[in-house]
């Protein structure tokens, strides 16, 4: 098959995916910001892999989907999980426990927030993982913010988890608060409530997501499990289940889904 990958980079996991698919006899092209033009030239592929969730690549996914070219993961789902407001609404409607959020311009937030509301987490509205994320300890720190809409989230004191899933396999890791995916983490046995949460999450999308991750926090005081971030295509850099190689397993799942799609 002739396969395209929408990605910010050509190396790391994207490069490994390309190498594996080519080893299986497929022709693979990677589209980055340097060579991606959203026009009819994209329509000569059998399907695309949506590795990047940056808006320009999501727009490419929308264009392909509108022209009946299969994109995996689904770009509409990728956008829901990339945009924190969309993601918050999705998780809330689904019944997951999530932190309170505060959304507004700096002046309004300074007038409405009280000292008891802190600490808060400042997150970019478009983003996932830890990029651009920081703790806000007081109202005074909001005076440093420029005049744009801010997304603030109540900070939850507890154990922070990075939870990967590939098909029905779950890898649960304990991480430092606000740590990114590439920081060293400790693998633990997956608790039953996390297993149940991942199963519900996957079932909600009715087979449209094959892999991904959730960032969770188990609150110290209540032991309740909060969902604070979700993602459709992490790097799986901390995957620690040796008999399930992530690149091979993910590529095989994608190829199987494309085959099933064409058969129907």
- CATH code (residue 215): 3.30.470.20
Please count the other Cβ atoms lying within 10 Å of the Cβ belonging to residue 8: 15
**What does each C-alpha distance from 107 to 85, 132, 143, 154 come to in angstroms?**
20, 21, 8, 18
Residues 36, 124: one domain? Answer: no
Residues 30, 65: one domain? Answer: yes
Could you tell me which residues come within 8 angstroms of residue 252 by beta carbon, excluding any fewer than 6 positions away? Answer: none
Q: Which two tokens stand for residue 29?
A: 């092209």
Residues 62, 163: one domain? Answer: no
130-135 contacts at long range (C-beta below 8 A, 24 or more positions apart): 130/178, 130/179, 130/180, 130/181, 131/180, 133/178, 134/178, 135/178
- CATH code (residue 13): 3.40.50.20
Question: What is the extent of the structural domain holding 196?
Answer: 81-96+157-247
Q: Which two tokens stand for residue 236?
A: 């799986």
Residues 135, 242: one domain? Answer: no
- For residue 119, the SS3 value is coil
Domain count, the chain: 3
Give DSSP secondary structure letters for 41-85: GGGGSSEEEE---SHHHHHHHHHHHHTT-EEES-HHHHHHHHBHH
Residues 23, 141: one domain? Answer: no
Q: Which two tokens stand for residue 190?
A: 């997956």
Rg of the chain on CA atoms, in Å: 19
Residues 50, 85: one domain? Answer: no
Can you give the pLDDT at residue 37?
97
Specify the DSSP class assigned to residue 126: B
**Bridge partner residues of 3 (DSSP):** 28, 47
- Best CA proximity match to 197, nearest among 150, 161, 153, 154: 161
Residues 218, 239: one domain? Answer: yes
Specify the DSSP class assigned to residue 197: H
Residues 187, 88: one domain? Answer: yes
Residue 196 to residue 176: CA distance in whole angstroms: 23
Can you give the pLDDT at residue 162?
97
In order along the chain (264 residues), what is the average pLDDT of each group of 10 residues?
97 97 98 97 98 95 97 96 91 93 90 91 79 84 75 95 97 94 95 97 92 97 96 95 97 95 71
Residue 21 to residue 4: CA distance in whole angstroms: 11
- For residue 167, the SS3 value is coil
Residues 50, 89: one domain? Answer: no
Residues 243, 174: one domain? Answer: yes
Residues 185, 107: one domain? Answer: no
Mark which of 113, 134, 154 sits at the end of a domain: 154
Residue 75 to residue 91: CA distance in whole angstroms: 18
Residues 134, 31: one domain? Answer: no
Can you give the pLDDT at residue 149?
87
Q: Is residue 253 part of a domain?
A: no
Q: Is residue 254 part of a domain?
A: no
């Amino acid at each position: 098959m002739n396969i395209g990958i929408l990605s910010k980079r050509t190396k790391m996991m994207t490069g490994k995916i390309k190498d594996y698919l080519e080893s299986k006899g497929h022709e693979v092209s990677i589209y980055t910001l340097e060579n991606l033009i959203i026009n009819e030239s994209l329509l000569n592929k059998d399907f695309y892999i949506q590795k990047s969730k940056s808006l320009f690549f999501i727009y490419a996914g929308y264009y392909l989907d509108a022209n009946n070219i299969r994109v995996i993961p689904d770009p509409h789902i990728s956008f829901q999980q990339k945009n924190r407001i969309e993601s918050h609404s999705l998780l809330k409607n689904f019944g997951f426990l999530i932190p309170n959020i505060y959304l507004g311009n700096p002046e309004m937030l300074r007038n409405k927030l009280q000292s008891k509301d802190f600490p808060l987490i400042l997150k970019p509205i478009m983003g996932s993982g830890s990029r651009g994320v920081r703790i806000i300890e007081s109202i005074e720190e909001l005076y440093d913010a420029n005049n744009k809409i801010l997304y603030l989230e109540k900070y939850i004191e507890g154990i922070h988890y990075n939870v990967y899933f590939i098909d029905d396999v779950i890898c649960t890791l304990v991480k430092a608060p606000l740590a990114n995916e590439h920081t060293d983490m400790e693998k633990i046995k997956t608790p039953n409530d996390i297993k149940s949460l991942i199963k519900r999450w996957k079932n909600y999308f009715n087979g449209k997501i094959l892999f991904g991750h959730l960032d969770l926090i188990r609150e110290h005081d209540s032991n309740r499990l909060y969902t604070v971030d979700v993602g459709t295509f992490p790097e799986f850099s901390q995957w620690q289940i040796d008999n399930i190689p992530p690149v091979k397993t993910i590529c095989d799942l994608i190829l199987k889904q494309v085959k099933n799609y064409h058969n129907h």
